[in-house]
Structure 1
Amino acid sequence: MGASSDPTQDGSDEQQKRSEIYTYEAPWHIYAMNWSVRRDKNEFCGPLTSFDWNEAEPKRIGTSSIDTTCTIWDIEREAVDTQLIAHDKEVYDIAWGGVGVFASVSADGSVRVFDLRDKEHSTIIYESSEPDTPLVRLGWNKQDPRYMATIIMDSAKVVVLDIRFPTLPVVELQRHQASVNAIAWAPHSSCHICTAGDDSQALIWDLSSM
């Protein structure tokens, strides 16, 4: 009769193998470490939260991801133009403002503007007044690109911004009775914006009177 295997011993061996996989005996003291993404894995593994098509350059689209990045794609070449670490936390929305310029909002509570001619820097246009309050949606005025609007998570107000005067809202729209979850600038007008919320209302605002 053959010898029976000991399940306890098998489990112990397996545990030892798992432990050994992640063990590294360095010949010197280790003071820091970092992860390195293997390029033979899926290079764009972070789930996408939003995208926007560049109307000025129809071959380009931009995507935002929970991995803190924004990725610019060239759809004619079916390839990535560039990928930027845009924020400190998840990026929830992206919007183009013209040729080579886009903005994004994030769980870190900021609106940032990027110019692809200078990929090393971005401009913070606005930050939530309360720390760690995410901004979830962004709309850029296509008729007048000086203006954009953003939504604060679980908030009934919409913040309208002028990129010439960072950090200071032009106006805060507050008529909804519940959280706002969508915004859209009118395609034919620079002073009209529509907002929709959990109160089952879609409101059209005329900003020329504000």
Structure 2
Amino acid sequence: MENTRQYSNQKDVYQYDCPWPIYALDWCKSRDSAFRLALGSFIEDNNNKLQVIARTDLVHGQQQPQHPDFVAVAEAESHYPLTKVLWEPSQQNSRRADLLATTGDILRLWELADNPHYGTTSNSINGGRKTPAYFTQQLMKQSDFCAPLTSFDWNEADPSLIVTSSIDTTCTVWNVETNQAKTQLIAHDSDVYDVGFMHGSADVFASVGADGSVRLFDLRSLEHSTILYESPAISQPPRPSNDSKHSASCPLLRLQFNRINANLLATFRMDSPSVQILDIRHPSAPVVELINGHQSSVNCMNWSPSKPNQIATGGDDSQVLIWDIHDNDRSTSPYQQAATKHSQPPLRSIRDPILAYTADQGINSLSWSKSIPQWVAIGFGKTVQALHI
């Protein structure tokens, strides 16, 4: 196979140095272009970038000692920082050009237009003669104000659907083929920080936010939602006796469903070094907690695309850790495949990762490649590294 030939003679770490700080990061889903990455900048002024990079030796046919590991093959401007970037989920027998989506001020779709001279400066994102605009579609509500979007997810079961989260307490499901909002709902009591579809489902998604809860929604029955988990209250000084208000839960920053086992999802709290693994069959409490590995706050995580028991995390301590949630040798209690129907499985605390890597700065972004699952990409400062695991 082409990929086997391409990636057989390679290094364990490939590095790309950007001219700007990196925040958004995602691997290309296509096996034909597996070693391409989309990057989004986080610059405080109004001059942000969306960039696509590829391994230099795969672009030019061979690696020259004086050449960098990666080369930028396309770039476009974005007014505001990009909070997330995703390539379109891969589809069998698809002949369409590569599409990407980004969030920031609004949701945008981009088309990567390749030409026969792949890797030259004439490549661009939506830069073809038939596409004069930088982006093919602009998805936003028809109103005078659009609240900033914190994150989104692209449905793999039905790639026409994207769900976005916003600081205005809402989640919106978009049909990217019709350029219309399918539904919008008030998901939380305050800012929504992340949202994700359940693996294999075109209808079920979950969200997390500043109110400290994980909430589960079903597009077939939006009248009701399920609170899967509420984080512990933030420690605060004692309140006066006449103040009956409860302490606020600690905000939850990110979530992701397991990419194989649809019952599991991961989340983590603000300013926390631990990660909680939830089982939607047993709401209200985590079934696994990853602790003691990070020495400071976790910033990002990504489930393995090929092993349902493995997850990677990155933190302010500059560490990238890979965990095995079924590893009995590193946990406080034996793994149980399933609890009884009405019982809550005991919390298992995993204290040690199975792999660790230390970067030069705190890790801001992390992506585990689906098409080449032996590679994990990380972003820190102005640097991207692809790590062979």
TM-score per shorter chain, which class?
0.7 to 0.9
For the aligned residues, what is the CA RMSD?
A: 1.3
Deviation at 1:42, TM superposition (A): 2.5
Please name the residue that 1:188 is paired with. Answer: 306
Deviation at 1:41, TM superposition (A): 3.3
Please name the residue that 1:167 is paired with. Answer: 284
Match of 1:115 among 196, 218, 228: 218
Match of 1:203 among 298, 321, 328: 321
TM-score between the two structures when normalised by the length of structure 2 = 0.43
**Alpha-carbon spacing, 1:193–1:79, altered in 2? closer, same or farther (3 Å):** same
Within the alignment, does 1:65 sit opposite 2:65 as a pair?
A: no
Match of 1:158 among 258, 268, 275: 275
CA distance in 2, matches of 1:197, 1:90: 22
1:99-149: per-residue Cα shift (whole Å, max 9, x none)?
A: 211000010000000000011111011001113310000010020010000
**Alpha-carbon spacing, 1:77–1:190, altered in 2? closer, same or farther (3 Å):** same
Please name the residue that 1:126 is paired with. Answer: 229
CA distance in 1, matches of 2:290, 2:154: 27
Structure showing greater relative contact order (alpha-carbon pairs closer than 8 Å, 6 or more residues apart): 2
TM-score between the two structures when normalised by the length of structure 1 = 0.79
**Unaligned stretches of 5+ residues in structure 1:** 1-38
CA distance in 2, matches of 1:145, 1:88: 26
Tell me which protein shows more helix as a share of its residues: 1
**Unaligned stretches of 5+ residues in structure 2:** 1-140, 234-247, 329-389
Aligned partner of 1:161: which letter?
L
Please name the residue that 1:104 is paired with. Answer: 207
**C-alpha contact 2:232 2:249 (8 A) present in aligned 1:** no
Larger radius of gyration: 1
CA distance in 2, matches of 1:51, 1:189: 24
Within the alignment, does 1:176 sit opposite 2:294 as a pair?
A: yes
CA distance in 2, matches of 1:107, 1:170: 22
CA distance in 2, matches of 1:183, 1:42: 35
Q: How many residues align?
A: 171
**C-alpha contact 2:230 2:249 (8 A) present in aligned 1:** no
Please name the residue that 2:244 is paired with. Answer: none
Within the alignment, does 1:42 sit opposite 2:144 as a pair?
A: yes
Identical aligned residues as a percent: 56
Deviation at 1:168, TM superposition (A): 1.3
Match of 2:180 among 74, 79, 96: 79
- Deviating above 4 A after TM superposition, structure 1's stretches of 4 or more consecutive aligned residues are none
**Alpha-carbon spacing, 1:40–1:180, altered in 2? closer, same or farther (3 Å):** closer
CA distance in 1, matches of 2:317, 2:267: 18
Please name the residue that 2:255 is paired with. Answer: 138
Aligned partner of 1:180: which letter?
V
SS at match of 1:169: coil
Deviation at 1:40, TM superposition (A): 7.0
